[in-house]
Protein backbone atom coordinates (compact mmCIF):
# COMPACT_ATOMS: atom_id res chain seq x y z
CA UNK A 1 0.00 0.00 0.00
CA UNK A 2 1.45 3.32 -1.03
CA UNK A 3 2.33 5.62 1.70
CA UNK A 4 1.11 9.22 1.35
CA UNK A 5 3.32 12.04 2.34
CA UNK A 6 1.51 14.28 4.72
CA UNK A 7 3.21 17.06 6.49
CA UNK A 8 2.72 17.83 10.06
CA UNK A 9 1.06 21.12 11.04
CA UNK A 10 4.39 22.54 12.21
CA UNK A 11 5.92 22.11 8.75
CA UNK A 12 2.95 23.90 7.15
CA UNK A 13 3.26 26.77 9.63
CA UNK A 14 6.98 27.15 8.97
CA UNK A 15 6.37 27.36 5.19
CA UNK A 16 3.71 29.99 5.68
CA UNK A 17 6.00 31.88 7.99
CA UNK A 18 8.86 31.85 5.46
CA UNK A 19 6.52 33.08 2.72
CA UNK A 20 5.34 35.92 4.95
CA UNK A 21 8.90 36.86 5.82
CA UNK A 22 9.86 36.86 2.12
CA UNK A 23 6.94 39.13 1.25
CA UNK A 24 7.87 41.51 4.07
CA UNK A 25 11.50 41.54 2.92
CA UNK A 26 10.42 42.28 -0.64
CA UNK A 27 8.27 45.19 0.60
CA UNK A 28 11.27 46.57 2.51
CA UNK A 29 13.43 46.42 -0.61
CA UNK A 30 10.72 48.13 -2.69
CA UNK A 31 10.26 50.84 -0.03
CA UNK A 32 13.98 51.50 0.17
CA UNK A 33 14.23 51.67 -3.62
CA UNK A 34 11.31 54.08 -3.93
CA UNK A 35 12.65 56.34 -1.18
CA UNK A 36 16.09 56.29 -2.79
CA UNK A 37 14.55 57.28 -6.12
CA UNK A 38 12.60 60.10 -4.43
CA UNK A 39 15.74 61.38 -2.68
CA UNK A 40 17.63 61.26 -5.97
CA UNK A 41 14.81 63.14 -7.71
CA UNK A 42 14.86 65.86 -5.02
CA UNK A 43 18.63 66.27 -5.29
CA UNK A 44 18.55 66.31 -9.09
CA UNK A 45 15.84 68.97 -9.08
CA UNK A 46 17.85 71.06 -6.61
CA UNK A 47 21.02 70.87 -8.70
CA UNK A 48 19.10 71.58 -11.92
CA UNK A 49 17.36 74.63 -10.43
CA UNK A 50 20.54 75.97 -8.86
CA UNK A 51 22.68 75.46 -11.96
CA UNK A 52 20.39 77.68 -14.07
CA UNK A 53 21.60 80.64 -11.99
CA UNK A 54 24.92 79.35 -10.65
CA UNK A 55 26.48 79.01 -14.10
CA UNK A 56 26.28 82.80 -14.54
CA UNK A 57 27.57 83.49 -11.01
CA UNK A 58 30.46 81.02 -11.22
CA UNK A 59 31.58 81.14 -14.86
CA UNK A 60 32.06 84.87 -15.39
CA UNK A 61 34.89 84.68 -17.91
CA UNK A 62 33.70 85.44 -21.42
CA UNK A 63 30.34 86.77 -20.23
CA UNK A 64 29.08 90.32 -20.00
CA UNK A 65 29.85 91.41 -16.44
CA UNK A 66 30.14 94.66 -14.56
CA UNK A 67 28.55 96.69 -11.77
CA UNK A 68 24.92 97.42 -11.09
CA UNK A 69 23.78 100.11 -8.66
CA UNK A 70 20.50 99.27 -6.96
CA UNK A 71 18.03 102.13 -7.57
CA UNK A 72 14.59 100.68 -6.79
CA UNK A 73 12.95 97.46 -5.65
CA UNK A 74 9.48 96.23 -6.57
CA UNK A 75 7.97 92.92 -5.50
CA UNK A 76 10.88 90.44 -5.60
CA UNK A 77 13.19 92.21 -8.09
CA UNK A 78 15.42 95.28 -7.88
CA UNK A 79 16.47 97.46 -10.80
CA UNK A 80 19.24 99.91 -11.50
CA UNK A 81 21.79 101.13 -14.03
CA UNK A 82 24.52 98.80 -15.27
CA UNK A 83 28.11 99.73 -16.09
CA UNK A 84 30.21 97.05 -17.85
CA UNK A 85 33.68 96.15 -16.65
CA UNK A 86 36.58 96.44 -19.07
CA UNK A 87 34.62 96.65 -22.31
CA UNK A 88 32.64 93.41 -21.88
CA UNK A 89 29.40 94.99 -23.02
CA UNK A 90 27.41 98.19 -23.25
CA UNK A 91 26.06 100.50 -20.60
CA UNK A 92 22.43 99.86 -19.79
CA UNK A 93 19.96 102.22 -18.19
CA UNK A 94 18.33 99.40 -16.27
CA UNK A 95 18.87 95.75 -15.43
CA UNK A 96 17.03 93.71 -12.82
CA UNK A 97 18.24 91.33 -10.14
CA UNK A 98 16.55 89.19 -7.49
CA UNK A 99 15.93 91.28 -4.38
CA UNK A 100 17.28 88.59 -2.04
CA UNK A 101 20.74 88.87 -3.65
CA UNK A 102 21.27 92.62 -3.27
CA UNK A 103 22.51 94.85 -0.47
CA UNK A 104 20.80 98.14 0.40
CA UNK A 105 19.65 100.66 -2.20
CA UNK A 106 22.39 102.78 -3.72
CA UNK A 107 25.12 100.21 -3.21
CA UNK A 108 27.01 98.77 -6.20
CA UNK A 109 26.79 95.05 -6.88
CA UNK A 110 29.08 92.97 -9.11
CA UNK A 111 26.86 91.17 -11.61
CA UNK A 112 26.80 89.15 -14.81
CA UNK A 113 24.02 89.83 -17.33
CA UNK A 114 22.25 86.79 -18.76
CA UNK A 115 22.66 86.77 -22.55
CA UNK A 116 19.72 88.25 -24.45
CA UNK A 117 17.98 89.56 -21.33
CA UNK A 118 17.99 92.46 -18.93
CA UNK A 119 18.38 90.11 -15.97
CA UNK A 120 21.50 90.18 -13.85
CA UNK A 121 22.99 87.58 -11.52
CA UNK A 122 25.21 88.52 -8.60
CA UNK A 123 28.77 87.23 -8.86
CA UNK A 124 31.42 86.60 -6.24
CA UNK A 125 31.09 84.41 -3.16
CA UNK A 126 27.73 85.88 -2.16
CA UNK A 127 26.28 85.33 -5.63
CA UNK A 128 27.53 81.77 -5.86
CA UNK A 129 26.17 80.88 -2.43
CA UNK A 130 22.82 82.52 -3.23
CA UNK A 131 22.61 80.57 -6.49
CA UNK A 132 23.04 77.25 -4.66
CA UNK A 133 20.26 77.90 -2.11
CA UNK A 134 17.75 75.66 -3.97
CA UNK A 135 20.25 72.80 -3.78
CA UNK A 136 20.63 73.41 -0.04
CA UNK A 137 16.88 73.15 0.35
CA UNK A 138 16.80 69.93 -1.64
CA UNK A 139 19.53 68.52 0.61
CA UNK A 140 17.38 69.25 3.65
CA UNK A 141 14.29 67.66 2.08
CA UNK A 142 16.21 64.63 0.84
CA UNK A 143 17.69 64.18 4.33
CA UNK A 144 14.16 63.72 5.68
CA UNK A 145 13.40 61.12 3.01
CA UNK A 146 16.67 59.28 3.61
CA UNK A 147 16.13 59.24 7.39
CA UNK A 148 12.47 58.30 7.38
CA UNK A 149 12.13 56.12 4.31
CA UNK A 150 15.52 54.49 4.02
CA UNK A 151 16.52 54.42 7.70
CA UNK A 152 20.00 55.73 6.92
CA UNK A 153 20.31 58.08 9.86
CA UNK A 154 24.00 59.03 9.56
CA UNK A 155 23.70 59.77 5.87
CA UNK A 156 20.61 61.86 6.55
CA UNK A 157 22.37 63.81 9.30
CA UNK A 158 25.30 64.53 6.98
CA UNK A 159 22.99 65.68 4.17
CA UNK A 160 20.99 67.86 6.53
CA UNK A 161 24.15 69.32 8.04
CA UNK A 162 25.61 70.28 4.66
CA UNK A 163 22.29 71.75 3.54
CA UNK A 164 22.04 73.83 6.71
CA UNK A 165 25.66 75.00 6.40
CA UNK A 166 25.10 76.06 2.79
CA UNK A 167 21.94 77.97 3.73
CA UNK A 168 23.71 79.61 6.67
CA UNK A 169 26.69 80.60 4.54
CA UNK A 170 24.41 82.12 1.90
CA UNK A 171 22.54 84.07 4.58
CA UNK A 172 25.78 85.31 6.15
CA UNK A 173 27.28 86.31 2.78
CA UNK A 174 24.27 88.34 1.76
Q: pLDDT of 9-59, one tens digit each?
A: 666 677 777 766 888 888 889 999 999 999 999 999 999 999 999 999 999
What was the pLDDT predicted at 1?
A: 53
What was the pLDDT predicted at 137?
A: 97
What was the pLDDT predicted at 82?
A: 94
Cα 12 from chain centre: 52
Domain ranges, ordered by start, for the chain: 33-59+123-174, 61-122
- Quote the strand ranges of the chain, DSSP E: 65-69, 72-74, 77-84, 92-98, 108-113, 120-122
Question: Which residues, in sequence order, are CB contacts of 53 under 8 Å at separation 6+?
Answer: 121, 130, 131
What was the pLDDT predicted at 90?
A: 83
Residue 85 has pLDDT above 70, yes or no: yes
Calpha distance 132→88 (Å, rounded)? 25
The whole-chain average pLDDT of the chain stands at: 89
Residue 46 near residue 89, CB atoms below 8 Å: no
Residue 8 has pLDDT above 70, yes or no: no
DSSP state for residue 119 in the 8-state scheme = B
What was the pLDDT predicted at 14?
A: 76
Tell me the H-state helices in 59-152: 124-131, 133-149
Residue 3 has pLDDT above 80, yes or no: no
Per-residue pLDDT band for 61 (boundaries 50, 70, 90) equals confident
Calpha distance 64→150 (Å, rounded)? 45
Torsion of CA 10, 13, 18, 23, to 10 degrees: 180
Residue 4 has pLDDT above 60, yes or no: no
Mark 34-52 as b/e (b = at least 16 C-beta within 10 Å).
Answer: ebbebbeebbebbbebbee
Calpha distance 174→171 (Å, rounded)? 5
Q: pLDDT of 87-115, one tens digit each?
A: 667 888 999 999 988 887 888 999 999 98
Calpha distance 144→35 (Å, rounded)? 10
Class of domain 61-122: mainly beta
Residue 38 near residue 30, CB atoms below 8 Å: no
Q: pLDDT of 128-159, one tens digit each?
A: 999 999 999 999 999 999 999 999 999 999 99
> Among residues 140, 142, 134, which one has the least CA distance to residue 57?
134
Amino acid sequence: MPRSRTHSPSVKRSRARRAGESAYGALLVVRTGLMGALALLLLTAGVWTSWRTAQYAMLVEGREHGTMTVAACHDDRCTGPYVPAGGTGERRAEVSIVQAAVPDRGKPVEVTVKPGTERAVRTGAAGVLHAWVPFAGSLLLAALVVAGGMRLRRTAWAMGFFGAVLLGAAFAAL
